[in-house]
Amino acid sequence: MFDKTIKAFDQSFRFSKPKILITNIFLVIILLVFLFFQSFETDSPWMQTAYFFVPVLFSFTLLFCLGIFLSDIDKTEKLNGKRIWLSSSEKLKKSIYLPFVPLLLFLGIWVLLGIFYLLQTIPVLDTILDVFLIFIPFILLFLASSFILYELLLLFFVLPTIEAKKRNSVRKTFVDIRKKPFQSLLLLAISLLPITVFFLIVRLATAFMPINDSGPFLFQSIKSLFYSLPILFLFSFFVVSFFQFSFKMASLEDK
């Protein structure tokens, strides 16, 4: 198993121009989503929680769509845009709910807990509810973190097994994850290692750069967009590597 993992990891760093191009397009869209939510300035920790996790969970949905396209490019011997689009759209119709449901659940739980959170402002109920609702922020953050872990497992293990005509593949994959939880989490950690190292290097590189936050918000957003473009271009290689590693591991499991 170790030899297969090393072999698949090495093969995951073989790139093609179409994969890098489509990955950059999706990453730019994700960046625009984050910039949009950053435009809502608020001092409320409750609203800040939503403005952080909503774009994160929505980005996983976009990454799921990206993974479907990359998977079909991998399986197509001759690059055919129309064929890839038809195959990918058929898969997305039957599986798009998988990454989208956690976003809806988070919004539903956030609204539900927010109602109780607002009840604390009532003078009569504040002392009573303060004891019972002290765990609300913890519960919300725990659930959001669980949703992110689910999305990562979905991208790495479930996405490569999705076929337009196979409906039981998703269920079977989750059963396999439950049977081998340690091995599954270890493979996921290996797949995320290059991305983690990349983010640490970028964080270190940007820590010493002077940042000027003055000026109108539109100007700041445009500056952030162009500032992030070269980082996104480099990041696209690691995203493609993540998906290719998952595809290789899935193909080795089938043999």
pLDDT at 99: 93
pLDDT at 176: 82
Cα pseudo-dihedral 239, 242, 247, 253, rounded to 10: -170
What is the C-alpha separation between 137 and 157, in angstroms, rounded?
30
Q: Which residues pair with 166 in a beta bridge?
A: 163
pLDDT at 56: 95
**11: which residues sit within 8 A by CB, 6+ positions away?**
244, 248
What is the C-alpha separation between 105 and 92, in angstroms, rounded?
20
- Report which of 55, 75, 62 is spatially closest to residue 162, judged by C-alpha positions: 75
pLDDT at 193: 92
CB 70 within 8 A of CB 137: no
pLDDT at 84: 75
- For residue 202 the two structure tokens come to 């970028």
pLDDT at 168: 64
pLDDT at 33: 93
pLDDT at 148: 95
Number of structural domains the chain divides into: 1
pLDDT at 214: 59
- For residue 119 the two structure tokens come to 């009840």
The domain containing residue 14 runs over which residues? Answer: 2-254
pLDDT at 150: 93
pLDDT at 90: 82
What is the C-alpha separation between 211 and 85, in angstroms, rounded?
41
Residue 166 in 3-state DSSP?
strand
pLDDT along the chain (255 residues), means of 10: 75 86 94 87 83 94 93 68 75 88 93 78 67 76 93 92 64 82 89 92 76 62 79 93 89 65
CB 37 within 8 A of CB 54: yes
